[in-house]
């Protein structure tokens, strides 16, 4: 074993539901902060919804159920009064030299990468997404030792493959992005910290902007309502919504479940019992997103008639529930 062996003996890989919240919670826990994935996601106010018709993926609109990439990592810096170092590089050679130097110091390093070029992903799971996060905790010969939280066990990745993933081109090109903590002064969870994080998330979900939060859901519902049922483009559009919700990242329901777990953990950790009931409500809302995805998938596969107005009605119902939920949650932490 090489000089980074001490890191190997200290680091503990943990599986997570989502890459960014999994990476940052594992990194902070490695440095002595009692952080779980739900707490990381919730304290960073990571829950969201956005319908962005001007941002195209294969000619179809971007739909997101969480805050943008890096928002969870950077959103934790304030609550923890933490200081992280973020670095990018002009060339793969410079990025690899810097990574090797940090590993030789025994550091745990976070990387932004492309899913498509990571060989340990099964072929049917690879797609061109450049904001996948992972941790590198050591090196053995030409292989990097990788903690990718979406996998149950640690992985190995050859240097050439990792360089390709770190310097992939296109939207959200990582440019060799790496990051690691320099200081984390605050480690104790408090009621004030939780309440402030919840208020931030409430503001984003109830924002008076037509394309985000519950208003974004209603705007997307209006677009769905107008789709002609018999057109081939309609099936493509509905199929795209299913992929954006259930295959990209953790999905619309998955992020609701993570935030519900945050509310439950916070209720117990900082004596805010009123949050427990909200955890149950949001779990039920997440079940509604799953039902929406199932209905849409059945239409795409020809098991039900294509009915855009029906999907639009389900989406409006989700928007109504989330609006009521976040208004009530705001009052609960006022």
Domain parsing of the chain, residue ranges:
5-32+83-183, 191-332
Q: What is the pLDDT of residue 251?
A: 61
Q: Which residues pair with 198 in a beta bridge?
A: none
Q: What is the pLDDT of residue 144?
A: 97
Classified as helix, coil or strand, 145 is: strand
Closest of 40, 43, 42, 65 to residue 52, by C-alpha = 65
Residues 92 and 167: beta-carbon distance below 8 Å: yes
What gap in Å lies between CA 101 and CA 331, rounded to an integer? 49
Its sign, for the CA torsion 16, 17, 19, 25, is negative
State CA 149 to chain mean position distance.
Answer: 12
Between the two ends of the chain, the Cα-to-Cα distance in Å is 54
What gap in Å lies between CA 165 and CA 314, rounded to an integer? 38
Q: What is the pLDDT of residue 249?
A: 52
What gap in Å lies between CA 331 and CA 203, rounded to an integer? 12
State CA 18 to chain mean position distance.
Answer: 5
Q: What is the pLDDT of residue 248?
A: 58
Q: What is the pLDDT of residue 243?
A: 82
| pTM score | 0.91
Q: Which residues pair with 156 in a beta bridge?
A: 145
SS (H, E, C) 26-69: HHHHHCCCCCCHHHHHHHCCCEEEEEEEEEEECCEEEEEEECCC
CATH number for the domain whose boundaries are 5-32+83-183:
3.90.70
**What DSSP string describes 158-184?**
EHHHHHHHHT--STT--TT-EEEEEE-
Q: What are phi and psi of 187, to 5 degrees?
A: -125, -10
Q: What is the pLDDT of residue 2?
A: 26
Phi-psi region of 156 (alpha: psi -120 to 50; beta: other; left: phi over 0): beta
Q: What is the mean pLDDT of each run of 10 residues along the chain (334 residues)?
A: 41 92 94 93 95 86 89 92 94 97 94 96 86 94 95 96 96 94 88 96 96 97 95 93 71 88 96 96 95 94 96 97 98 94
Chain length of the chain: 334
């Amino acid at each position: 074993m090489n000089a980074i062996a001490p890191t190997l003996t200290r680091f503990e890989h943990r599986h997570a539901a989502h890459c960014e919240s999994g990476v940052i919670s594992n990194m902070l826990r490695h440095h002595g902060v009692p952080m779980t994935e739900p707490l990381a996601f919730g304290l960073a106010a990571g829950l969201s919804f956005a319908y962005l018709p001007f941002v195209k993926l294969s000619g179809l609109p971007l739909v997101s159920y969480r805050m943008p990439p890096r928002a969870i990592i950077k959103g934790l810096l304030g609550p923890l009064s933490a200081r992280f170092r973020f670095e990018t590089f002009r060339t793969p050679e410079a990025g690899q030299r810097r990574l090797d130097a940090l590993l030789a110091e025994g550091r745990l390093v976070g990387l932004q990468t492309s899913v498509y070029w990571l060989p340990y992903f099964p072929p049917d799971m690879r797609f061109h997404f450049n904001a996948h996060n992972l941790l590198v905790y050591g090196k053995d010969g030409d292989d990097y030792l990788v903690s990718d939280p979406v996998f149950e066990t640690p992985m190995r990745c050859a240097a050439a493959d990792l360089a390709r993933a770190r310097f992939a081109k296109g939207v959200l090109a990582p440019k060799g992005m790496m990051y690691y903590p320099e200081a984390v002064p605050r480690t104790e969870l408090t009621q004030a910290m939780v309440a402030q994080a919840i208020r931030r998330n409430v503001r984003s979900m109830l924002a008076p902007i037509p394309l985000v939060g519950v208003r974004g859901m209603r705007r997307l519902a209006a677009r769905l309502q107008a789709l002609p049922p018999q057109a081939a483009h309609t099936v493509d559009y509905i199929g795209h919504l299913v992929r954006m919700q259930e295959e990209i990242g953790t999905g619309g329901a998955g992020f609701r479940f993570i935030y519900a777990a945050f509310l439950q953990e916070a209720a117990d950790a900082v004596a805010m019992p009123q949050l427990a009931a909200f955890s149950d409500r949001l779990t039920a809302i997440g079940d509604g997103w799953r039902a929406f995805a199932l209905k849409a998938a059945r239409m795409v596969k020809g098991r039900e008639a294509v009915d855009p107005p029906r999907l639009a009605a389900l989406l409006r119902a989700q928007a109504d529930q989330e609006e009521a939920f976040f208004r009530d949650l705001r009052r609960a932490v006022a």
